[in-house]
Amino acid sequence: MEILTQQLFNGLTIGSVYSLVALGLTLVYGILHIPNFAHGALYMLGAYVTLTSMLLWDFNYWLAISISIIVVGLLGVLMERLVFNPLKNAPPIHDKIAAIGILLFLEAFAQLMWGADYRSMSTPYGEVVNIFGTTVTMQRVLINVGAVIVMITLYLFLKKTIVGSTIIAMAQNRKGAHLVGINTNKVAMLTFLISGALAAIAASLSAPINLVFPGMGHLVILKAFVIIILGGMGSIPGAIVGGYILGFSESLGATYISNDYKDIIAFVLLIIILSFKPQGLFSKEGV
């Protein structure tokens, strides 16, 4: 029983991180219909920027995270301006390849800057607490609470502010949004900013319980793709629910099936889903 609650909590933690990454991915997909393969690289850079500002300039954890959010968010904007905007009218295969190009560049860049070693990030919240009979580190609690706060903030921003509703408008219909006077270029940039910021938050929160290395984004981004297919491409609640589903199935699978093959679970899940529903789980017919 204790193992089960422990694993459920683990699943919740992993799921929170996945949800945050998938949210950024799904936002960009909803607006521009690009599967942004470079999103994993943004996640990786987010962790590195936080780590560097903590080690190099001795910033505290929260300040380091804010710097990381700004840096990675701006990087996202830059990507939109330099790469995806010129490719607006190109065939869809071009966006994907361009995104792969960015991914390769950013990974090589990280390796050049920080080396290929695995690093660990220290956290001021390492103490162990006891919740409902299970012992967990404060950092894991922080991940869960932080993720929920970010999700609620994002939800309120999208639903309750004018700027947020322009994003939703553009996701619904780009031309229509343009017609009613929304500056679609600005909205696209804003979306990339939010997407980059979400990746930075997810990476900075989860880095202390994982390791930081140039390839750390690979698996996470692949799983985020699985999640947004699970939850419907472009759907925000879908990304959150999908993230938690994957988190739970992974942590339970690792305990009760096989630790070696736990990374395969996500992909097998995806292969099964797409085999039966080629358009994704919650797609609208005919889109």
Partner 1 sequence: MGPLQKKHLIITGLIILAGIFPFINQNDYWLHILTLSFIWMIAVYGLNLLAGYTGYLSLAHAGFFAIGAYSLGLLTVKAGINYWAALVLSCVITSVIGFLIGLISLRTREHFFAIYTLCVGYVIYLVIDKWDSLTGGVRGLIGIPAPSNIGPLSFESTLSQYYLVLFFLLATIFVMYRIVHSLSGRTFIAIRNSEELAGTIGISTMKNKLVVFVLSTFFAGLAGALYASFIRFIGPDIGYTTVIFDLLTYLLVGGIGTLAGPVVGTMLIVSVSQSLQFLQDYRMLIFGPLLTLIIIFYPRGIVGFFSDWYRKRQSTKLQSQKKKQVKSNMDDEDLHEDRVKEG
Site for partner 1 contains 83 (CB under 8 A): yes
Site for partner 1 contains 94 (CB under 8 A): yes
- Among 103, 147, 171, 205, which residue sits at the site for partner 1 (rule: CB under 8 A)? 103
Binding positions for partner 1, 15-54, rule CB under 8 A: 29, 33, 35
Site for partner 1 contains 257 (CB under 8 A): no
Return all residues near 201 (Cβ < 8 A) that are at least 6 apart: 20, 46, 65, 69, 146, 150
Rounded to an integer, what distance in angstroms lies between the CA atom of residue 24 and that of residue 268?
A: 23
- Among 55, 97, 129, 163, which residue sits at the site for partner 1 (rule: CB under 8 A)? 97
C-alpha dist (Å) from residue 5 to 135, 139, 244: 10, 17, 15
- Cβ closest to partner 1, residue 32 vs residue 205: 32
Closest contact distance (angstroms) between CB of 262 and partner 1 is 10
Site for partner 1 contains 101 (CB under 8 A): yes
Neighbours of 240 (CB within 10 A): 25
**Among candidate residues 155, 162, 160, 202, the one with its CA nearest the CA of residue 186:** 162
- Cβ closest to partner 1, residue 42 vs residue 205: 42
Site for partner 1 contains 114 (CB under 8 A): no
Closest contact distance (angstroms) between CB of 260 and partner 1 is 5
Binding positions for partner 1, 198-227, rule CB under 8 A: 218, 222, 225-226
Site for partner 1 contains 233 (CB under 8 A): yes
Rounded to an integer, what distance in angstroms lies between the CA atom of residue 121 and that of residue 132?
A: 28
CA 133 to chain centre: 31
E strand or H helix that includes residue 266: helix 262-276
- Cβ closest to partner 1, residue 98 vs residue 143: 98
Site for partner 1 contains 98 (CB under 8 A): yes
- Cβ closest to partner 1, residue 18 vs residue 61: 18
Rounded to an integer, what distance in angstroms lies between the CA atom of residue 270 and that of residue 235?
A: 17
Site for partner 1 contains 55 (CB under 8 A): no
Return all residues near 181 (Cβ < 8 A) that are at least 6 apart: none
Closest contact distance (angstroms) between CB of 258 and partner 1 is 9
Instruction: Record the tokens describing residue 189, joined without a space.
Output: 């940039």
CB-based burial label for 38 (10 Å; 0-12, 13-18, 19+): buried
Instruction: Record the tokens describing residue 196, joined without a space.
Output: 């980059």
- Contact residues: partner 1, CB under 8 A: 29, 33, 35, 83, 86-87, 90-94, 96-98, 100-109, 111-112, 116, 218, 222, 225-226, 229, 233, 260-261, 263-264, 267-268, 270-271, 274-275, 278-280
